[in-house]
Amino acid sequence: MVTEQEAQDKLPDYVEAMLKSAPEAEQIALYCLSDLIQNVFDHARTNGAGAFCAIAFDKRTSRVRLAVADCGQGIPATIKPHYEGDLDNQNSLLLALEPELSGNSARDGVNRGVGLYFVRRLALAASGGFCAVTEELSARASAHSPSDFVPRIVALPHRWQGTAVAVTFKAIGAEYSGPMQAIKDEIEGRGPRYADIRFFKKSANAPDWQRVKIDSDNGKFAMDRGRATALAQDQILPLLRLGAKVELDFTGVAKATQAFCHALIVPLLRSGGANVLGRLQFVGCSPRTRSPICFAVNYASTTDDA
């Protein structure tokens, strides 16, 4: 068990001693451990108890394994009071893994709610895996079966009230700075196609644009991937394939999750015909919805180019 002060004073030296032969892996491990431990003290409400943490480096396989656990209130109890809607435990866990969605504000007032997202993305970028356990659920992601947008949720036979997060990644070939900057760009909505995305505060009600309303499905969130897929396939793609110009109206949606935007937008850009991005415009998007839209557009464009 480690206290907050011990984590600040001793953790860097301990990780350096273990991974001094792999400095990039050392940076990844230190970031993940530091962030996960800080989450315990910022969010878990453990009544003064510390965080349980462990790290191991298998030189034979070049595999780093680390984990942080607590016996606090768990992710759903942290998330639910801060968001409208009847969130169940599964949706609470999925929201906790989204960028810029936090259950609490840190004591310094600058918590952006990106920690678990960064940890997961760094692990996958280093050919690794990620698992978060809370209540009766686990969320899992692996570089071998990519699930950047929706980690696989698995029901557990036993309940863990607190939160436990485990990360594994390969030390050889691991990179820190490049993936970290790429993840920051994702969250900020930066990318090669950003300038081509048309955002408007309000609809112009132009007669040559077909309007499709995107409603929230959980409080003020749009997060149901199945609904996003149905909207894309049944309503929007038929219009685009006829050459129409389509306005996607997100007015009233506080946040469309990355998973929702991926399921909605990527099929449009891949199957919507010529100059499809020039025939799409996005209306009434909050800043927290613009970022995942930009990420989905850039993702579709990059993977198509590849």
**Residues 74 and 170 reside in one and the same domain:** yes
Cα 155 to Cα 165: distance, rounded to the nearest angstrom: 16
Q: Do residues 151 and 124 touch, judged by C-beta distance below 8 A? A: no
**Residues 36 and 160 reside in one and the same domain:** yes
**Residues 36 and 140 reside in one and the same domain:** yes
pLDDT, tens digit (0-9, with 9 covering 90-100), for 1-59: 888 888 888 999 999 999 999 999 999 999 999 999 999 998 888 887 789 999 999 99
Structural domain that includes position 111 = 4-181
pLDDT, tens digit (0-9, with 9 covering 90-100), for 164-223: 999 999 999 999 999 999 888 877 766 666 778 999 999 888 899 999 999 998 878 899
pTM: 0.82
Backbone angle region of 296, left / alpha / beta, with phi > 0 → left and psi within -120 to 50 → alpha: alpha
**Residues 200 and 152 reside in one and the same domain:** no
**Residues 197 and 173 reside in one and the same domain:** no
Eight-class DSSP state of 233: I
Best CA proximity match to 230, nearest among 221, 220, 222, 219? 222
Tell me how many domains the chain contains.
Answer: 2
**Residues 114 and 240 reside in one and the same domain:** no
Q: Do residues 65 and 129 touch, judged by C-beta distance below 8 A? A: no
**Residues 244 and 174 reside in one and the same domain:** no
In this structure, what token pair is assigned to residue 270?
């891949």
Eight-class DSSP state of 218: B
Cα 275 to Cα 260: distance, rounded to the nearest angstrom: 23
